[in-house]
């Protein structure tokens, strides 16, 4: 069986992946971590190594979908895809895969796997909707609420992407590919900003990211976001 852990909330997805590994450990399974490139070797070795008296083996990989493979056709077989397909249909085999930053709809293997997708909470999207000038109190209140249950870096990444999208909405037609409801929502929120003010807010987010990566931020991500909001919202 193939189990894939994925989702926009990559922190929660990885946590679910690790918790599943720990669950199998508690049942005395043999945990084997391997690079995705070993997927063919896993399948080739199973016939020789599995027996009624062997402990259950759980193979753990990450970003299996980055390893080059194509779905097999009648005309042409792909050895990597065939190995994954065979493993996924074998109930005596457990293969756990963590896909960093991928949503379930983006998975090439979703039809072969049991997918555990970690989605952002609705409160995060409510936070993003409050990010515009004149809405400081509500934004900070939403930020504090979200950070209770969500990882601060994940919240930051979601906000960073959203603000970049707002800038694109003001500067170009890059949001044209978004669904109509989302496009008009983004454009409406972007129009609440002065362009220079929005760019400065985005620059502030970049500084927070740099400070977080260099461990030079004395306040932490959430507090730094509050300070930034006090200046621009």
> What tens digit of pLDDT does each residue of 67-113 get?
777 777 777 787 888 888 888 888 778 899 999 888 898 898 999 99
DSSP label of 72: -
For the chain, give the percent of residues with pLDDT over 90.
Answer: 42
Which whole number is the average pLDDT over 146-164?
A: 89
Tell me the average pLDDT of the chain: 86
What's the pLDDT at 176? 67
Q: Is the pLDDT assigned to residue 137 strictly greater than 70?
A: yes
Domain boundaries, the chain: 2-117, 122-232
Which whole number is the average pLDDT over 104-133?
A: 89
Binned at pLDDT 50, 70 and 90, residue 53 comes out as very low
CATH number of this structure's domain 122-232: 1.20.272.10
Q: H or E stretch including 198?
A: helix 195-213
Q: Is the pLDDT assigned to residue 218 strictly greater than 80?
A: yes
Q: Do domains 2-117 and 122-232 have the same CATH topology?
A: no
What's the pLDDT at 167? 92
Other beta carbons within 10 angstroms of residue 137's beta carbon come to 11
Q: How far apart are CA 81 and CA 61, in angstroms?
A: 15
What's the pLDDT at 49? 57
Q: Is the pLDDT assigned to residue 163 strictly greater than 90?
A: yes
Other beta carbons within 10 angstroms of residue 25's beta carbon come to 12
Rounded to 5 degrees, φ, ψ at 93 are -115, 135
Axis-axis angle for helices 122-129, 136-149 (nearest 10) = 160
The reply to whether the predicted model has a pTM over 0.75 is: no
Higher-pLDDT residue of 5 and 170 is: 5
CATH number of this structure's domain 2-117: 3.40.50.300
Other beta carbons within 10 angstroms of residue 83's beta carbon come to 18
Axis-axis angle for helices 195-213, 221-232 (nearest 10) = 160
Burial class (CB in 10 A: 0-12, 13-18, 19+), 230: exposed
């Amino acid at each position: 069986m193939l189990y894939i852990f994925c989702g926009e909330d990559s922190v929660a997805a990885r946590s679910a992946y690790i918790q599943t590994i720990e669950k199998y450990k508690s049942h005395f399974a043999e945990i084997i971590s391997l690079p995705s490139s070993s997927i063919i070797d896993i399948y080739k070795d199973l016939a020789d190594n599995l027996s009624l008296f062997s402990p259950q083996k759980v193979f753990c990989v990450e970003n299996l979908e980055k390893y080059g493979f194509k779905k097999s056709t009648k005309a042409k077989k792909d050895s990597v895809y065939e190995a994954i397909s065979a493993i996924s249909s074998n109930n005596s085999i457990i293969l756990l895969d963590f896909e960093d930053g991928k949503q379930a709809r983006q998975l090439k293997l979703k039809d072969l796997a049991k997918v555990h997708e970690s989605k952002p909470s609705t409160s995060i999207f409510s936070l993003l909707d409050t990010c515009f000038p004149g809405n400081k109190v509500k934004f900070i209140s939403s930020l504090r609420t979200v950070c209770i249950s969500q990882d601060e870096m994940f919240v930051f990444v979601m906000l960073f992407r959203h603000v970049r999208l707002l800038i694109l909405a003001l500067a170009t037609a890059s949001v044209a590919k978004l669904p109509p409801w989302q496009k008009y929502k983004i454009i409406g929120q972007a129009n609440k900003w002065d362009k220079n003010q929005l760019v400065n807010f985005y620059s502030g987010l970049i500084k927070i990211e740099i400070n977080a990566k260099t461990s030079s931020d004395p306040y932490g991500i959430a507090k730094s976001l509050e300070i930034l909001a006090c200046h621009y919202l």
